[in-house]
Amino acid sequence: MTEIAEHVAVPSLLLGGWYTTEELAELIGVDPSTLRRWRTVHPVQGPPVVKMSGAVSRYSALDVEQWLRQRRFDPAEVAY
């Protein structure tokens, strides 16, 4: 096990948690195939993804939250 000294800054990306395609799909209410399509179309859609290998992709919880916040809007603030 690797110990991390208190004075060393660890990027929050490493500590924020990760989702599989299936976990994220369930969390945001889409089919896993939708996430797969989003990451393969051009231009790429959906939240940032980390390709661990050819068949393994992971989504950072921090990236997903930021992606959702960027798409969030309050209908009361939308001018018609």
Instruction: Give the model confidence (pLDDT) of 38-79 as tens digits.
Output: 999 999 899 999 999 888 999 999 999 999 999 988 888 876
Q: What is the pLDDT of residue 1?
A: 44
Q: Which domains does the chain have, with CATH numbers?
A: 17-71 (1.10.10)
10 Å Cβ neighbour count for 50?
Answer: 12
- Is the CA virtual torsion 23, 31, 34, 74 positive or negative? negative
What ranges in the chain are assigned the alpha helix state H? 12-15, 21-28, 32-40, 61-71
Q: What is the pLDDT of residue 79?
A: 66
Q: What is the pLDDT of residue 4?
A: 53
Q: What is the pLDDT of residue 74?
A: 85
